[in-house]
Amino acid sequence: MNATDNTASMQADLTAHLRAPGPRHELEFVTSLGARRSFVGTGQSLVSVSRGELLVNTVEGRISLFGGDVGVFHGPVEVYPAMAGCGNWSVVNGADRSWSQALRHGSSDPTAAFLLPGVAVCPPELRHGLIAAQRARLHRRPMTAVNSAELTFLVGVHELQAPWHRQVQACPGRTLQQRRNVYFRLQRVRNHVLANSTEELRTSDLAAMANYSPWHFIRIFCDVFGETPHDFLVRHRLNHARRLLHTSSLAIREVALAAGFEHRCTFARLFREHYGTSAQLYRQNLLANAA
Last residue of one domain, picked from the residues 162, 177, 192: 162
Contacts with 9 (C-beta within 8 Å, 6 or more apart), sequence order = 1
Q: What gap in Å lies between CA 204 and CA 215, rounded to an integer?
A: 9
Q: Domain check: are 152 and 277 in the same one? A: no
Alpha helices in 198-291 (DSSP H): 203-209, 214-225, 229-247, 252-258, 264-275, 279-290
Which is it for the CA torsion 290, 245, 53, 82, positive or negative?
Answer: negative
pTM of the model: 0.85
8 and 125 share one domain: yes
24 pLDDT above the threshold of 60: no
Give the CATH number of the domain where residue 274 resides.
Answer: 1.10.10.60
Q: What is the per-residue pLDDT for 72? A: 98
Classified as helix, coil or strand, 96 is helix
Q: In terms of pLDDT, which residue wins out, 12 or 52?
A: 52
Q: Is residue 207 part of a domain?
A: no
Residues 6+ away with beta carbon under 8 Å from 91: 28, 29, 30, 31, 37, 39, 45, 46, 47, 48, 79
Phi, psi angles (nearest 5°) of residue 250: -60, 145
Question: Cβ neighbours of residue 138 under 8 Å, at least 6 residues apart?
Answer: none
161-194 pLDDT, tens per residue? 999 999 999 999 999 999 999 999 999 999 999 9
**What DSSP character marks residue 144?**
T
Number of domains in the chain: 2
Q: How many CB atoms lie within 10 A of CB 165?
A: 18
In this structure, are residues 72 and 115 in contact, taking their beta carbons and an 8 Å threshold? Answer: yes
Q: Which residues contact residue 204 at a Cβ distance below 8 angstroms, ignoring those fewer than 6 apart?
A: 214
Q: Is residue 71 part of a domain?
A: yes
Torsion sign across C-alpha atoms 232, 237, 241, 244? positive
Q: What is the domain-level CATH number for residue 139?
A: 2.60.120.10
**In 3-state terms, what secondary structure has residue 30?**
strand
Question: In this structure, is residue 135 part of a structural domain?
Answer: yes
Q: Are strands 37-39 and 77-81 parallel, antiparallel or unpaired?
A: antiparallel
Q: Answer yes or no: do 126 and 261 share one domain.
A: no
In a domain, residue 187? The reply is no
pLDDT tens digits, one per residue of 263-283: 999 999 999 999 999 999 999
Residue 198, classed as helix, strand or coil, is coil
Mean pLDDT of 21-32: 68
Closest C-alpha among 278, 282, 195 to residue 236: 195
Tell me if 176 is assigned to some domain.
Answer: no
Query: Which amino acid, residue 224?
Result: V
Q: Nearest Cα to 221, choosing from 198, 176, 199, 190?
A: 190
pLDDT band at 7 (very low <50, low <70, confident <90, very high): very low
Q: Express each pLDDT in 29-71 by its tens digit.
A: 888 887 889 998 779 999 999 999 999 999 999 999 999 999 9
User: Range with the lowest mean pLDDT among 100-114, 153-167, 229-243?
Assistant: 100-114
Strand partners, 66: 53
Which residues form the domain of 283? Answer: 231-290
- What CA–CA distance (Å, rounded) separates 240 from 64? 10
